[in-house]
């Protein structure tokens, strides 16, 4: 059993049996944030890319919790400069799965900017795909082939990322049983109706959460 809690925008608190992971913790100055950064308890902090609305409070959360911060190599150097111990500033890159205790984590491609990527997290019999910020791209089909995600968190806001039309195709490419929309309605340029998106997706169950809501999968 895995628990996923949407904190607004692209921020997720994901709880495995023995590990709490927060992804893209943009909480401070996020008008839709469902949690204060100071209240976050996490063992790991994952950052898909270095834009302000994804990096967010990552460094402060990692320092306060003595948590491992995982992102691309360059981000790990910034984390060290911010005072995160070298042992907790984990720089990786797109390639293959890496072991972190009972979990396996991989970075996967995204099409965006800011040294972008997405994450695959595998543990407790479930595989999660957090797409980060991305456009639609055909190699999402390789993510399905290689990792077979059970759960996908996909941006639908448009303007900076996929919109609903593109994200519906992405859902088909990825083939996850469950899709959670994210990265919408935080700011006016990314206003979208997630329920309309849900009706566009075929072959996956779309669960539309409000910030602060949680589901066990």
For residue 57, which of 81, 35, 85 has the smallest C-alpha distance? 35
Residue 152 within any structural domain of the chain: yes
9 and 32 in contact (C-beta within 8 Å)? yes
The string of pLDDT tens digits covering residues 176-206 is: 999 999 999 999 999 999 999 999 999 999 9
Is residue 3 helix, strand or coil? strand
Residue 173 within any structural domain of the chain: yes
Q: What are the structure tokens assigned to 31, written together?
A: 């008008």
Quote the domain boundaries for residue 71: 3-209
Cα separation, 108 vs 57, whole angstroms: 22
Q: What is the CA radius of gyration of the chain?
A: 16
The string of pLDDT tens digits covering residues 78-102 is: 999 999 999 999 999 999 999 999 9
Kindly report the number of other CB atoms within 10 A of residue 113's CB atom: 11
- What DSSP string describes 39-80? G---SEEE-S--SHHHHTTHHHHHHHHT-EEEEEHHHHHHHH
Residue 82 within any structural domain of the chain: yes
Cα separation, 146 vs 113, whole angstroms: 24
- pLDDT of amino acid 49: 98
Residue 107 within any structural domain of the chain: yes
- What DSSP string describes 156-175? ---SSS--HHHHHHHHHHH-
Residue 19 within any structural domain of the chain: yes
Is residue 184 helix, strand or coil? coil
- pLDDT of amino acid 148: 98
Is residue 147 helix, strand or coil? helix
Residue 146 within any structural domain of the chain: yes
Residue 215 within any structural domain of the chain: no
- pLDDT of amino acid 89: 98
158 and 164 in contact (C-beta within 8 Å)? yes
Total domain count, the chain: 1
- pLDDT of amino acid 1: 87
Is residue 180 helix, strand or coil? strand
Mean pLDDT of 20-38: 98
Residue 37 within any structural domain of the chain: yes
The string of pLDDT tens digits covering residues 110-168 is: 999 999 999 999 999 999 999 999 999 999 999 999 999 999 999 999 999 999 999 99
What is the side-by-side strand order in the sheet with 89-92? Answer: 89-92, 68-72, 44-46, 20-23, 11-15, 3-8, 214-216
- The CATH code of the domain that includes 156 is 3.60.15.10
């Amino acid at each position: 059993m895995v628990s996923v809690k949407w904190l607004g925008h692209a921020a997720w608190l994901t709880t495995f049996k023995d590990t709490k992971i927060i992804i893209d913790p943009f909480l401070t100055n996020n008008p839709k944030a469902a949690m204060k950064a100071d209240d976050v308890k996490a063992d790991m902090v994952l950052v898909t890319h270095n834009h302000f609305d994804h990096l967010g409070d990552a460094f402060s959360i990692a320092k306060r919790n003595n948590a491992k911060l995982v992102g691309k190599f360059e981000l790990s150097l910034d984390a060290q400069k911010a005072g995160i111990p070298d042992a907790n500033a984990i720089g990786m890159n797109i390639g293959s799965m890496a072991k972190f205790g009972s979990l396996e984590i991989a970075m996967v491609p995204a099409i965006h900017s800011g040294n972008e990527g997405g994450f695959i997290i595998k543990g407790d019999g479930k595989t999660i795909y957090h797409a980060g910020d991305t456009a639609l791209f055909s190699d999402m089909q390789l993510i399905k082939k290689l990792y077979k995600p059970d759960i996908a968190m996909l941006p639908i806001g448009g303007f900076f990322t996929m919109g609903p039309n593109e994200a519906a195709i992405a859902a088909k490419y990825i083939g996850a049983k469950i899709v959670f929309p994210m990265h919408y309605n935080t700011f006016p340029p990314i206003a979208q109706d997630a329920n309309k998106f849900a009706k566009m997706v075929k072959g996956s169950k779309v669960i539309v959460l409000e910030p602060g809501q949680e589901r066990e999968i």
